[in-house]
Amino acid sequence: MNEVKNIIEKIKKFRDDRDWMQFHDPKNMAVSIILEASELLEHFQWKTIKEVEEYAKQNQDEIKDEIADIALYLFEMADNLGVDLIDAMDKKLAKNEKKYPVEKARGKHTKYNKL
């Protein structure tokens, strides 16, 4: 848990040292998360599963950077909105456990309302 607080403090220091909070409203943060997710997705576009496996091994550093960009924006957005991200994820997992009971969902990709 201290690691989460530590990384949030580093994110805020980086942002505040550059006077960027003025640009980090919820809309712009959400847009930035999607843009970074799109950059991650671009690594896998048009590739077969086999090609993706090899590509991911060969381009791990670039993929890590894109994942980190998404996480940095996500952690900052949560902090800016007063959301405890770890608590929110725990609660969402509990909701998902109810929506996708093991006995109905195991091995299936079906949406919960179709199980």
Q: What is the CATH architecture assignment of 2-81?
A: Orthogonal Bundle (1.10)
Q: What is the pTM of this model?
A: 0.90
User: For position 88, what pLDDT does the model report?
Assistant: 97
pLDDT score at 57: 97
CA triple 61-66-71, angle to 5 deg: 120
Q: In the prediction, which pLDDT does 1 show?
A: 67
Report residue 86 CA to chain centroid gap: 12
DSSP string, 1-24: -HHHHHHHHHHHHHHHHTT-GGG-
- Which stretches in the chain have pLDDT values below 70? 1
| pLDDT value, residue 87 | 97
Query: Is the Cβ–Cβ distance between 31 and 69 less than 8 Å?
Result: no
